[in-house]
Homo-oligomer: A and B are copies of this chain.
Amino acid sequence: MSDSSLTAGSTSVRDLAVAARASVLSLKRSSHEARNQFLFALANGLRDQTEAVEAANAIDLAAAHAAGLAPAMLDRLRLDAARIKAMAVDVEHVASLPDPLAQRFDLRALPNGLIAHKRRVPLGVLGVIYESRPNVTIDVAALAIKTGNAAVLRGGKESISSNRILMQIARAALVIAGLPSGALQFVDTIDRGATLELLKLDDLVDLIIPRGGAGLHAFCRRESRIPVVTGGIGICHLYVDASANLERALNVVRNAKVQRPTVCNALDTVLVNARVANDFVLALAEQLSQDGVEFRCDAASLDILRPLNVGASAAGDEDFDTEWLGLTLGIRVVDNAEAAMAHIEAHSSGHSDGILTEDPAQAEDFLARIDSAAVYWNASTRFTDGAELGLGAEVAVSTQRLHARGPMGLSELTSYKWVIEGDYHVRA
């Protein structure tokens, strides 16, 4: 059974999930030492087999080249010695984090003398569906085993050779650590039906984690019978209040827009209070146009920018509902914070939205009212990230409301159980 997942075509996705499920009891009982031993063995395996990983990756790269993949995609697919070393370091960082399964919380002494508390336990079997980047294979393997979960991994077809050897290294590390090698399963086929098959295995898989773009997330949500971590879309806003320090606010808006424009926590629309709109919008456009940003403007901001040559155009019907994922920024002038919040409530995807203001009452009103996964006062939306918010590792960013919302760390890959201790207590 241990190598069943490595034989393309001969094993169904259900068989893989059955094998993963069979390891769940053993993983639940595993020690933190054993789970960390896996992580160190995995890091060592990556270092020891760097050349073999590069060779497997070269096969993927050659096929991708022949298929005419864009340079950006080729870059995402590439594993060189430096990247493999970075993967090993990341795995060792996960080992350094405290045991998520050691957490006890919500202790309560009940009036009848019962003592109750909660303890973290693994979720069970994770189904992880991801796209071209092969490093996700190692990332998921590390986070799953650290939290005592089994996983069925479904990678992109472009990276199948790379993923195959990375999974061999991961499964060898399971054996070294004395953990069941069935705990990590790899769907080794390029058949697209396999993803759909995985999404239907609600009797074997506890949670689906898509790692990729909005299209992958929407597909999983539509087809899955298993709960899916929803995420992937961030239409993010910053509102610049009249009381904001405009120079510092401009620096925050710029950071949110240009520091890494291709990710979901990057800024999409800036809302500017009318009382400061003239000064702020002009300064913003002058600064950000030098970064290559183009602007989609409402009538008021377009009036302000018309004299300048900064790539400003009138916003179309859908522009304020678009996640740009690039160097485009929507600008709208609003009369007051109320209008800004109404705009955000109408257009936000519920990912990350913030206010820039010197007025604490106005800030608190915004933070209380805007119900996005992360709401900010005087900070860039780019901080919606597990590492930035101190979670140690990031599994995903959730924009759903159940189970976990916002950046998900190791704890969010767990469930809990109630532990109740008595003195032969009976219920009256």
Contacts of A407 in B (CB 8 A): 418
The answer to whether A403 touches B402 (Cβ under 8 A) is yes
Near B by CB (< 8 A), chain A positions 102-142 give 108, 110, 114, 116, 119, 121, 123-124
Which one of A79-87, A246-254, A315-323 is at the B interface? A246-254
Instruction: Please tell me if the beta carbons of A376 and B422 are within 8 angstroms of each other in the complex.
Output: yes
> A406 touching B389 by the CB < 8 A rule?
no
Once the chains are docked, how many angstroms separate the CA of A369 from the CA of B227?
Answer: 25
Q: Are B389 and A418 in contact (CB under 8 A)?
A: yes
Given contacts A390-B110, A405-B417, contact A259 B426 (CB under 8 A): yes
Asked whether any CB of chain B lies closer than 8 Å to the CB of A294, the reply is no
Verify A420–B375 contact, CB threshold 8 A: yes
CB nearest neighbor in B for A384: B418
Query: In the complex the two chains form, what is the Cα distance from A363 to B373 in whole Å?
Result: 40
Contact B420 A377 (CB under 8 A): yes
Q: Which of A215-234 contact B (CB under 8 A)?
A: 221, 227
Bound CA span A369–B101, Å:
12
**A386-428 contacts to B (CB < 8 Å):** 388-390, 401-403, 405-407, 415-427
Give the docked Cα–Cα distance between A377 and B363 (Å).
Answer: 48
Q: Are B421 and A378 in contact (CB under 8 A)?
A: yes
- Judge whether A424 and B389 touch: CB under 8 Å: no
Given contacts A402-B227, A425-B252, A426-B252, contact A379 B259 (CB under 8 A): no
Out of B121, B206, B373, B417, which one reaches A374, CB within 8 Å? B417
A384 to B426 Cα, complex, angstroms: 12
Tell me whether A42 is interfacial, beta carbon within 8 Å. no
With both chains docked as a complex, state the minimum distance between the C-beta of A57 and any C-beta of chain B, in angstroms. Answer: 30
Taking a contact as CB atoms under 8 Å apart, the answer to whether A424 and B390 are in contact is no
Contacts of A252 in B (CB 8 A): 424-426
Q: How far is the CB of A274 from chain B (nearest CB, A)?
A: 21
Give every chain B residue within 8 A of A402 (Cβ-Cβ): 123, 206-207, 227, 402-403, 415
Q: Which of the four size classes fits the interface of chain A?
A: 35 or more
Assess whether A380 is interfacial by the CB under 8 Å rule. yes
| Inter-chain contact A375/B415, CB cutoff 8 Å | no
Roughly how many angstroms separate A293 CA and B379 CA in the complex, as a whole number? 65
State whether the Cβ of A25 lies closer than 8 Å to any Cβ in chain B: yes
A245 to B407, CA, bound (A): 48
Quote the shortest CB–CB distance from A225 to chain B (angstroms).
8
Contact, CB under 8 Å: A114 / B418: no
Q: How far is the CA of A204 from the CA of B25 in the complex (A)?
A: 37
Q: Is the C-beta of A157 less than 8 angstroms from some C-beta in chain B?
A: no
Residues of B within 8 A of A388 (CB): 110, 427
Whether A108 pairs with B389 at a CB distance below 8 angstroms is: yes
A428, chain B: closest CB distance, angstroms: 8
A379 near B114: Cβ-Cβ < 8 Å: yes
Please, what's the 1-or-0 string for A350-387, where 1 marks a CB less than 8 Å from any CB in chain B?
00000010000001000111011111111110111000
Smallest CB–CB gap between A155 and chain B, Å? 24
Q: Interface residues, chain A, CB within 8 Å of chain B? A: 25, 28-29, 108, 110, 114, 116, 119, 121, 123-124, 202, 206-207, 221, 227, 245, 248-249, 251-252, 254-256, 259, 345, 356, 363, 367-369, 371-380, 382-384, 388-390, 401-403, 405-407, 415-427
Q: List 27 A-B contacts (CB under 8 A).
A: A110-B390, A119-B368, A121-B371, A206-B402, A248-B424, A252-B425, A252-B426, A254-B426, A255-B426, A367-B419, A373-B418, A374-B417, A374-B419, A375-B417, A377-B421, A377-B422, A378-B422, A378-B423, A379-B421, A379-B422, A380-B425, A389-B418, A389-B420, A401-B415, A402-B415, A406-B417, A407-B418
